[in-house]
Amino acid sequence: MMHRFASARAGFTPADLAFMESLLAGGGSSAVLTSLCEDPDALDAILDLKEIHRSLLESPVALPVSASLYFYVLVRHAFLDGGIDHRGLADYVAGVLVEKLDARPDPRPGTMPGWVTHAVDFVSVIQSAHGVLRFHLQVAAGDQFLVLTGLYPEFLDRRAERRGAPGSDFYESFARIAYRNAADHPGIAAPMRELLGLLSETFPAARRSLNRMSDRCFF
């Protein structure tokens, strides 16, 4: 089954590499660092450095980096702090954030993205869908409520208080079930099954990590 999975690392740019070089070359040859970054293992180690994370958080000026690098590093370090040491999971979640937040047209504080829908909307279409379409909808549901519970839990809880709608705990459960059902879908590749299953299992910890990241970065 073909499914394009979100990946922040697939969106890294030459400017991202130049940014890391400027931080770590220390006056040495940038060609050395470039060759390291072309090695996946070396790039993994570089992206895990505290210096990279700290620079993205503390820089007083606009950074010349892509949203892909920014969110990957923030998610990866947030997950590490939360006890989740799985680069593929950080890559996927950061990729979802890039795609979702890039679609947000209104920058005013408190304005919700146009992609926000209620769980009932997903339930109705998932129940009537079959085969590959059902799988895609389950992944989409998990992705949506991963972002909402991770970055906008206050919005969900305020809506619950004012309108009697479900709160963030309900949507966490909904997302976990959606990912679990997608992982159990017949015919999907083993790596995809593993990632979706891991998302379901670690969702509470992942959500808390994103909550802390959101609080720190003022999303």
> How far apart, in whole angstroms, are the C-alpha atoms of residue 136 and residue 190?
16
Q: Please report the pLDDT score of residue 153 as a whole number.
A: 87
Render pLDDT for 78-130 as a digit per residue (tens, 0 to 9).
999 999 999 999 999 999 999 888 754 444 333 344 555 667 777 777 878 88
Q: Please report the pLDDT score of residue 205 as a whole number.
A: 97
Q: Which of 169, 181, 165, 124 is nearest to 145 (CA)?
A: 169
Residues of the chain with pLDDT under 70: 1-4, 26-37, 60-62, 103-118, 218-219
> How far apart, in whole angstroms, are the C-alpha atoms of residue 186 and residue 193?
10
Q: Please report the pLDDT score of residue 22 as a whole number.
A: 82
